[in-house]
Amino acid sequence: MNPAAATDLAATATNLAATTNEHLANVSNTLIYSSMAVYTLAFFTYIAEWIFGSRSKVARTAAALTSPQKTAAPAVTVNKAGGTTVLERPQVVTRSASGARDVPDGPGAHGGDVQGDLYGRIAVSLTVVAWAVEVAGVVSRALSVQRAPWGNMYEFNITFSTVAVTVYLVMLALKKNIRWLGLPLVTTVLLDLGLAVTVLYTASDQLVPALHSYWLYIHVSTAILCGAVFYVAAVATLMYLFKDSYENKLASGGKPGRFATSVLERLPASATLDKFSYRVNAAVFPLWTFTIIAGAIWAGDAWGRYWGWDPKETWAFITWVAYACYLHARATAGWKGRKAAYIALIAFACFLFNYYGVNIFVTGKHSYAGV
């Protein structure tokens, strides 16, 4: 083959590859928009689950929060000369520990109603379909750029929302009572994808040389997973604060509004929500620690230093400190409950600023791809 023919063949192959990549990028965009359409259907179906959920079948009363548990002690037989006498011990009143209540979990968004439960199941099914379409969109994006789809904020967003829904579906598959999370989750995913396709969209492109490393797959993937899990815990923490206020109002003899009663009486008890958010945060915190260490190692390979107090590095460390303070607060008697919950929300706010604020508004070595 002569040199001219070889050159033409190489040019043809290059053009074909470029056309194929552009086609895959268009397919990815179409799939992301399609997933948004299905998520929208799931959003309205989750709303229908809450609307049709029965209020009358939820056993939640002020008496359940305030009445002390009375435990009758067994009788005592006393021997006397020539016979026996039975003495009744006084009743012992056992009260809950400070800040704890014996409150059963609510039935969920469907409120124990058959029709509400049907809408909830349909909503979960639609969420699974939307998730599958979104996964296909993320994979198509990866194929179009021939790398991991984490090179800019657009790709981060579509991957982050996919992983967040994955965490939710996995917990449902493990029989966790978190279907109430469906509505806030899908709402957030729609906002996240809407921001991605309008403000943050970036055409397919290759990474800068410094990012061509296997640490990209390790560091960024764990960061996205941690963020998705932190998000689930943050929603549970926020619901805990609302539910705790609701239970406090009932315990003090107050009467919450109809809307608050209709929504909050179906959620798990505040103690359950508090325990759930704590366990989720505690479980993912070691992975977040590894994420920071992996990023430092990658920085050493790419930039010749492990830590330089770059804005991204600084806020990742601040986030780590905030979650460490939360876990420490949970182990400190005076800081359990609402105080610890506030720290958890502050920690998640730090993560969000690190995820969005630093990337968009702050210039540093991590601003390699703009948005």
Give every CB contact of residue 64 below 8 A, 6+ residues apart in sequence: 102, 103, 104
Map residue 72 onto helix, strand or coil: coil
- Does residue 337 have a pLDDT over 80? yes
Contacts of 28 (CB under 8 A, 6+ apart): 137, 138, 140, 141, 144
pLDDT at residue 129, rounded to an integer: 97
Quote the pTM value.
0.81
Q: How do residues 31-55 score in pLDDT, each as one tens digit?
A: 999 999 999 999 999 999 998 876 5
3-state secondary structure of 350: helix
Task: Please list the residues that pair with 94 across neighbouring strands.
Answer: 69
Q: Where are the alpha helices (DSSP H) in 87-113?
A: none
Contacts of 361 (CB under 8 A, 6+ apart): none
Per-residue pLDDT of 258-277, as tens digits, reads 888 888 889 999 999 999 99
